[in-house]
Amino acid sequence: MVSRVIPVDEFDLVIFGATGDLANRKILPGLYRRVLAGQIPQGSQIIGAARSDMDAEAFRAQVRGAIEEHVNPAKIVPESVAEFLAMLDYVVIDAKGEGGWDDLKAKVRPDVINAFYFSVAPSLFGDLAERLHKRGIAGPDARIVVEKPFGRDLTSAKALNKALADHFDETQIYRIDHYLGKETVQNLMAVRFANILFEPLWNAQYVDHVQITVAETVGVGGRGSYYDKSGAMRDMVQNHMMQLLCLIAMEPPYHFDPDAVRDEKLKVIRALQSVAPNDMVRGQYLAKGDEPGYLADSEDPESKTESYIALKCHIANWRWTGTPFYLRTGKRLRARTSEIAITFKEPPHSIFDEAEGDWRENVLVIRLQPNEGMNLKMMIKEPGPGGMRLVQVPLDMSFAEALGEEADITDAYERLIMDVIRGNQTLFMRGDEVEAAWAWTDPIIEGWEARGDRPQPYDSGTSGPDDALMLMHRDGRRWREIRE
């Protein structure tokens, strides 16, 4: 397959927090890969900004190191690295201070696309927005990119929205949820709305239930004190999993247009019912071998923060009433995998005898990682003599195999940054969406806090707490196995 890379227009991108982990692991290597792909025009500038005192040369050396560490060696082409490094510049700026801003203003060209990436703690968003606006560095056409976490509850999310809205219009704000930049997540929309095949069946009449799983093998070691204030509900469910749920459940937008898509997602969030306490299970991983348990990782031996959560959600609208959505996510689980599984109902009447095979429902599995792809489990006749015996087989499509190289080279971050440059907000969360998601999340968290619920311990390397299995068993269903 021929790769189609559409170059973007010339831009100046300022990355606040350019010395940080995210910039070095994801943003800068991603931008390099876009240069390698020929997508970034040569005159563009990428300006790092942080408090660390260094000049542009030292910043280039840092970025060279980041590329060597985080880019596949086969993709490190000296000419492209040199081309990329030549685009880099650096300004020393403290978001809360007054120095460096004139320097930045002198570098940012108003006659090209301007984007400002806030890869810093959210507590600095307001300071950056105010200074960029008041000093006339970011004008009405500039784009502001902000990282998660976007608040830790509705009140703080509203405060962040206001801190940005005081200086910029909503059409300028790009709230990153990198899950939305994943190839398969976007494919979810293509599968649903570019094919006639599934949409007629995409409702409670034909879909028995939906499972969304985001399983990690790592614990929270290293970032325990941060995670302990967050937990799986805030860290994963309120944002990434909610976005996946929206893309599965939303009505077809009238057009693939940012607000049309986001309007439909918002309706799903608003239609989400509150979750009853017995429809959710929270867990905390235990130590395994040399690896500490959650309580040691979090450094609070009394912590009630969950490293695992499973819940059953209902969407109260005409399409979905009667189809439960089961969500689960956790750390230190058996395998690292993210997938969405849509289980269809059985045919209303079987013309085959039970003895004629191991009857199973059709399941459409969308794998987000690893090995992005799709798999449709179908019943067919078992080949060979022996009469009409049925067997379930997968119609399996790995995007890497189907699409070749193009399928695996574009990381979510680089795709989203290119969308920012193109001015396309479709894959970014709108302020009202984020607030609606917190409005659903808050009472659930407040409920377990008020009850003083303790998460259930679970063994590392398993599928999570036993009660999570019961959450489905009692409905006569079962979770899919967690495996790579």
Q: Which is nearer to ligand NAP, 98 or 449 (CB)?
A: 98
Q: Which is nearer to ligand NAP, 146 or 210 (CB)?
A: 146
Dihedral sign, Cα of residue 387, residue 389, residue 394, residue 395: positive
> Is 209 in the active site?
no
User: Annotated catalytic residue: which of 133, 209, 240, 314?
Assistant: 240
Looking only at Cα atoms, what is the longest distance across the chain?
82
d(CA 275, CA 80): 51
How far lies 168's CA from each of 81, 146, 163, 172, 465, in Å?
34, 13, 9, 6, 45
Cβ–Cβ under 8 Å, residues 80 and 35: yes
Q: Which amino acid is at 65?
A: G
Q: How many CA atoms lie within 13 A of 127 on its CB side?
A: 13
DSSP string, 108-158: S-TTSEEEEEE-S-GGGHHHHHHHHHHTTSS-TT-EEEEPSP--SSHHHHH
Give the nearest distance from C-beta 96 to ligand NAP in angstroms.
Answer: 5
By three-state DSSP, how is residue 370 classified?
A: coil
Binding residues: 51, 148, 178, 182, 216, 235, 331
Question: 30: closest CA among 411, 408, 369?
Answer: 411
Q: Which is nearer to ligand NAP, 49 or 472 (CB)?
A: 49
Which residues are at the interface with ligand NAP (CB under 6 A)? 16-23, 50-52, 93-96, 119-122, 124, 147-149
Give the nearest distance from C-beta 209 to ligand NAP in angstroms.
Answer: 30
DSSP label of 467: H
By three-state DSSP, how is residue 315 classified?
A: strand
Q: Which is nearer to ligand NAP, 52 or 398 (CB)?
A: 52
d(CA 36, CA 40): 9
Give the nearest distance from C-beta 301 to ligand NAP in angstroms.
Answer: 25
Give the nearest distance from C-beta 244 to ligand NAP in angstroms.
Answer: 17
Annotated catalytic sites, by residue?
240
